[in-house]
Amino acid sequence: MKKFTAVLSLAILGVFAVYIHKQIYPKELSSKTISKPKELEIVDLATVDGLLKQDRIEEAASIVSSHLFDATPTLLENRWAEIGIEIAQKEHNLPVLLKLYSSYPKIFEKNELASILLADFFLLQNDTNNLEKIRDSWRGKEIQENKWFLIDVDTMLYQGKTEEALQLLHRFNFEGKSDADRYLRLAFIYFSEHPHKAWEFLEVAKNIDPLNPHIHTYMGLLSEAAGEKRVANKEFETAAKLQPNNVYLQDQLAEFYVRNKQLALAYPIWQKMTQFASADLLWSKALFWDKVYKPLTPTPNITKIPKGKMHSFVEYLLTLDKNEFWNETAYNNVQEGFKWKNQEQSIYWLNLLQTLKEGSDQKAWELVHNKSFQEEIWDHDLDLALKYVLAYKLRRPMPTERFSDNANPFFQSLTSLHKSDEHIYSPLNSILENNYIYSFLFLAADWNEAALRLSYPKQNDSYLPEWISYKYTEALTKNRSDLDALEYALIQSPMPSLDILIGKLFLKKGNKQSALVHFERAAIIENETGKHAAWLATKTYLDDNSIQMAKKMIEYNRLLANSVLGKETLAQIAIKEGDNKNAEEIYLSIIDHSNIAKSYLAKKAYEEKNWQKAKELTAYLLKANPDHPLLKENYDKIIAEEKKELQKIGH
């Protein structure tokens, strides 16, 4: 359970429920506008009231923005501020609420929901001064008692007053869905030490409010800790779908993907964060993965960095030179930089990457072994692989930890290293002695941008395993361009898997002939790779209407020729050639293994009015695809036709 304590945050309980919002104020709130006559203001107020009643928020906001922060304040200025706060509260637009609070704090005493949103934000930011002010302004006159109760509990938890919070949670309860959040706090308290009890509280909360996304998030965390990854995945995704604009729920889903090495799923979530005024913490994550996984597109706009305690750090990340992961001199200017070094894992990784790039193995060893979050490391297998390689290079004792069961085979091969045989030549030793070994490690972990920026061999040595050239080609395709990937791949030693990748790149360029050269070269190999290459060549010929060449290609590779896929394709070719008898024979030979065969033979049975056969085959297809509308329609047609025929013959 300890591994997951780091990902727990009151943020996912609803504290700081930041939302991706539309920009409802077309002008900067700090800009000065020309004050309008009072008569026009009264007309505009009436217009805004009408628009809000019709839920036309953006149009109303446009008018409000033309009156707020006028150069010459009027008697109606406070009324405009009230409306602005109301609109921002409905939109959960925290940046606007914060701006309005800085200018009109007293007016927030008229809007309890807006005050609660800001109290949540101040709590997460540890802004005790503003939190106390806004809380005191509502003390004794609360209407949303349950929401303030939760803020009081969360404040205690943030301050480490767990026992006081626990007593408060057991002392009160609320009616209806509001009580679900109370049980959620109880689950939070018991999460680490008593997971079964926490789960019981979550079950109660879920029964009260099944659509509360934070309940699903916590169930995801508990399931993940118990090793139930599929259940956890479902819970995190459910939470994110229930509130798609809540960026902290999206962040929790992305974090789950990272912990389970699904970077391709996590990256788009954080990429989206930089397109909105989400939160500076989430921008820092997006910019980290920009440097180690894949560059963000479009490049985030430095003028749109959200305000917050990490603003200075985010600005630092955005201004780092493309050729460096870390710059200690520049980092010294980051506000509270020393604090972030001990808290932000991204800083550890970027610092380590820069150290490896500069060739300082000793400093890298110290960083790897002295970090403060050993158990919460984002990629345990990559971390352990680095320990092995650094131990090998510095002649230190090998690690005793174990790789995960699904670790990259290259990582797992490192366990064979022993100090006593370091002088013996072996393929593994040769790889470890390679100047680009650290790039290989990050490449194996799918940290593609880190691998490319660490520098990589433009032409691989013959003793290096095939996966290295293949994965560099993939990385270049994703992070640079198809042309860069092709230029790199074409000068590597030929290998079937790389030939397939090269062929696909040529196809994207529309160069079918060059693609076929590489597909056919790989198709010679009698294994699954060769079979796949033969199929790609076959498909390319079929797309070009070269029927005879497609047939030859299938026959060329024995595995493809004997496979269901190969036979389905031969049957389809036979139909194109008008040889329906041959097609039927082929389909009959694979009917037990092919839905395409069943579909063809069901259609044929229908045309021949063999209702029983058509019904049997269609029913089988429906069992596999119960919601398929065309199959349902076909089955109903068969039943109807069979019924007609029975009526004709007097049954």
Other CB atoms within a 10 A radius of the CB of residue 494 amount to 12
Residue 516 has pLDDT above 50, yes or no: yes
Contact 100, 85 (CB under 8 A): yes
| More confident call, 248 vs 548 | 548
Would the CA dihedral through 626, 628, 630, 631 be positive or negative?
negative
| Mean pLDDT computed over every residue of the chain | 88
Domain ranges (residues) in the chain: 3-246, 261-378, 395-491, 494-590, 606-650
- Residue 19 phi/psi, 5-degree rounding, is -120, 145
Tokens standing for residue 270: 């954080």
Percent of the chain with pLDDT over 90: 67
Tokens standing for residue 625: 């695809």
pLDDT at 66: 65
Residue 23 has pLDDT above 70, yes or no: no
Report the SS3 class of residue 260: coil
Confidence of residue 62 (pLDDT cuts 50, 70, 90): low
- Residue 164 phi/psi, 5-degree rounding, is -65, -40
- State the DSSP code for 301: P
Measured in residues, the chain has a length of 651
pLDDT at 375: 78
487, 440, 496: which is closest to 459 by C-alpha? 487
113, 64, 112: which is closest to 90 by C-alpha? 113
Identify each DSSP E strand in 75-234 by its residue range.
none
Rounded CA-CA distance 574/568 in Å is 10
Residue 512 has pLDDT above 50, yes or no: yes
Residue 5 has pLDDT above 50, yes or no: no
Distances (CA, A) of 153 to 148, 162, 299, 326, 391: 9, 9, 40, 39, 47
CB-count exposure of residue 570 (10 Å: 0-12, 13-18, 19+): buried
Is-same-fold flag (3-246; 494-590)?
Answer: yes
- Residue 246 phi/psi, 5-degree rounding, is -85, 105
| More confident call, 477 vs 89 | 477
- Report the range of poorest mean pLDDT among 44-58, 322-336, 598-612: 44-58
Q: Under 8 Å CB-to-CB from 600, ≥6 apart: which residues?
A: 571, 583, 584, 587
Rounded CA-CA distance 327/517 in Å is 47
Tokens standing for residue 434: 């390679």
Other CB atoms within a 10 A radius of the CB of residue 613 amount to 16
- State the DSSP code for 458: S
- State the DSSP code for 277: T
Report the run of H or E that residue 62 belongs to, with start and end: helix 57-65
Residue 154 has pLDDT above 80, yes or no: yes
Residue 272 has pLDDT above 50, yes or no: yes
Would the CA dihedral through 248, 250, 256, 257 be positive or negative?
negative
Rounded CA-CA distance 288/314 in Å is 10
Rounded CA-CA distance 278/290 in Å is 17
Tokens standing for residue 410: 């290259």
Q: List, for residues 358-417, the tens digit of each pLDDT value.
A: 999 999 999 999 998 877 899 999 999 999 999 999 999 999 999 999 999 999 999 998
| More confident call, 125 vs 458 | 458
Rounded CA-CA distance 304/314 in Å is 11
pLDDT at 37: 61
Rounded CA-CA distance 183/200 in Å is 9
Q: Which fold has domain 494-590?
A: 1.25.40
- Report the range of poorest mean pLDDT among 1-15, 466-480, 599-613, 618-632: 1-15
Q: List, for residues 249-268, the tens digit of each pLDDT value.
A: 999 999 999 999 999 999 99
pLDDT at 28: 44
Residue 22 has pLDDT above 50, yes or no: no
Buried b / exposed e over 285-322, threshold 16 CB at 10 Å, is bbbbbbbbbbebeeebeeeebbebbbbbbbbbbbebee
Report the SS3 class of residue 19: strand
Q: List, for residues 328-370, the tens digit of each pLDDT value.
A: 999 999 998 998 888 899 999 999 999 999 999 999 999 999 9
CATH number of 3-246: 1.25.40
| More confident call, 78 vs 530 | 530
pLDDT at 421: 54
Percent of the chain with pLDDT over 70: 88
Listed ranges 71-75, 89-93, 121-125, 276-280; the one with the highest mean pLDDT: 121-125
- Report the range of poorest mean pLDDT among 33-47, 200-214, 271-285, 356-370: 33-47
